[in-house]
Chains A and B, each alone.
Chain A
Amino acid sequence: MAHAAGLSLLASLDFGTLPSQVVNGVLNGAIYALIALGYTMVYGVLRLINFAHGEVYMLGAYTALFVSWAYGFRPDVPPDQLPESTLLTLLVMMLASMAVCAGVGVVIERFAYRPMRNQARISSLITAIGVSLLLQYGGGLFLPQNPPPTMNERVNPYRQTLELTLVRAPQELTTAVENARQLAQRSEAAFQERLKLEKDRFNLSPEGERLRDAKFEAERQLREAESRRNTAQVTVRVGAGRLAILVASLALMFLLRQLVLFTPTGRAMRAVSQDFDSAALMGVNVDRIVTITFVIGSALAGAGAMMTATFLGTSISPYYGVLPGVKAFVAAVLGGIGNIPGAVLGGILMGVAETLVIWAGYSQFADAVAFVVLIVVLLFRPGGLLGSSAVEKV
């Protein structure tokens, strides 16, 4: 039984779209990675899970939306009067989201977490959950949400779909498709010619029926030939906007890496995350490093929010950050919380896992993937993939 079910599942999968799905999973994962970096960096310096991080992300999406309105992409503007969006528009939106998120992150740290820093760990945890709920419900009072606003799709200047053939099908399969297409076109033309002579197109003459069946047969053969060719070749189809997400995320992650590894501030951040007191004894102003960490982590979430709102067209609400926040948190745990490369790896794995579950036809379980991953990681490798295997109590 199970075996048969497995076989029928396999048969129903469309392996031709698998490469595209993996690529799209990586792109979704890039966003999770950007958010996960904020969780992991804050955990690194404060050993605190910043539950309000998803809400910072939500505020980034609203910021991007408001900037797009300021540019003239308001919902009440008729389509023919919308302005042209350019790369500059996108950059302004992204910088605005990053700046607002950074500010919100700093305020949260200064007024909610810092007073709790010397208290028991559980106090900080409860505070973090409180801030998260405050922003969700407080945001509900002030932010537009009925109907849930979406970014105008024309804000994204990169709307075309890119197709990239990685592995070509053998020549004879391509020729077969070409021949089948010509045959299909010829029989279509012949059928259309015949239709002009028919008195009643819903009650064809025998000759008309013959030509119609020939046309259907030729089309069927074309589909078969295409399917044979598609199975043999690997083509990736991806929206240009999603590719922009990948490029921007990689650029931001590269900047972060350079900062953390090669600047005095980055060195101090690594020192603080390894040993808070010892770093203070070396003259590091730990409060300043904590502030910088919140600035960077929140700004990355802001960039991610701007990109999902703009390129993926999801509708925005005060709860916009809840699911991405949870998934990115799991991504950070999967990679090893506190570990920066781990957050990137975890984010990308989460994105791919989720896309594959949808690809396999279980889209209703896509949001549950995060929780399954969390449970598995906590059971078998609580330190995460790249983290230390030592378990730390929260």
Chain B
Amino acid sequence: MTSRRFHDRVERDVPAMLEIRGLDVSYGAIRALREVDLDVNAGEIVAIVGSNGAGKSTLLRTISGLVRPRAGKIVFESRPIVGFKPHRIVAMGISHVPEGRRIFTDLTVWENLALAAQFRKPSTFDQDLETVCRWFPRIRERLKQSAGTLSGGEQQMLAIGRAIMARPKLLLLDEPSLGLAPNLVKEIFRILQDINRAGTTVCLVEQNAHMALEVAHRAYVLETGQVALSGPGRELLDDPRVQAAYLGG
């Protein structure tokens, strides 16, 4: 149902929250992305699936300003953001949970969370910390611990919680299910849906396509740097090409 609503909006020509047009990214001679067009509308969960090396991480890293595209434009809330430094893009409201979590294991859990919030007005820090701890009760018990002592699942929760502390409008997640036990994956996806319902737009990248397509309003399939398919998550889940290539069926 929700996906229908957002589609209506695209068709009515309301500008998307994030608009990517003709994006080309290369690492030296390697072309990682070519001619990528992609939209994320406010309020959606968008999934990007594709096999290893398809360019999913590159896409997110380019949106966040870690990688500079060779060509193409990225517009966030009507402002072109190509060429902005990552911290400015974060300040505009895009938070990125990187592949492999990349939490600061030398810092405490609390410091990880505080770091992400320290560049905004501090007035909402306690409130945001409370929100994160409500979503991830295990984090609350471990605030004083060094982040390196957390288990893999807890680290992923910290990585997401940390991104939430920046109060993003758009949350980018790179393979949030990587290396986690199936029940943890379920839990993480459930929380991501909660976060989305609370008003944050979500764009997530997954190799593990099943879960991602189930929760996504819309999805894109990336193949060797190009968008091969796109559509509502459910439709892609039923698409025979997707089933053959990504769902082992």
Contact = CB atoms under 8 A, between A and B. Distances in A.
Contact of B98 (A278, A283, A286, A287): A278
Contacts, number: 70
- What secondary structure prevails in chain B residues at the interface with A? loop
Interface residues of A, number: 18
Given A267-B107, A275-B102, A277-B102, A282 B85 contact: no
Interface in B59-114: 64-66, 85-87, 90-91, 95-96, 98, 102-107, 111, 114
Given A283-B87, A284-B115, A284-B119, A275 B95 contact: no
Most chain B Cβ neighbours within 10 Å, of A267, A268, A275, A283: A283
Interface string A265-279: 001101100110111
A166 interface: no
A264 interface: yes
A368 interface: no
Interface residues of B, number: 26
A280 B104 contact: no
B180 interface: no
B104 A274 contact: yes
A281 interface: yes
Given A270-B104, A278-B104, A287 B85 contact: yes
Contact of A280 (B66, B105, B107, B111): B66
Nearest to A276: B66
A12 B132 CA distance: 69
B49 interface: no
B85 A278 contact: no
B111 A267 contact: yes
Contacts of A271: 104, 107, 115
A281 B106 contact: no
Nearest to A282: B116
A285 interface: yes
Contacts of B116: 282-283
B87 A280 contact: yes
Given A282-B116, A286-B87, A287-B85, 8 more contacts: A267-B118, A268-B118, A270-B111, A275-B102, A281-B66, A282-B162, A283-B120, A284-B115
Interface of B: 64-66, 85-87, 90-91, 95-96, 98, 102-107, 111, 114-116, 118-120, 162, 166
5 contacts: A264-B115, A274-B106, A277-B66, A277-B98, A283-B120
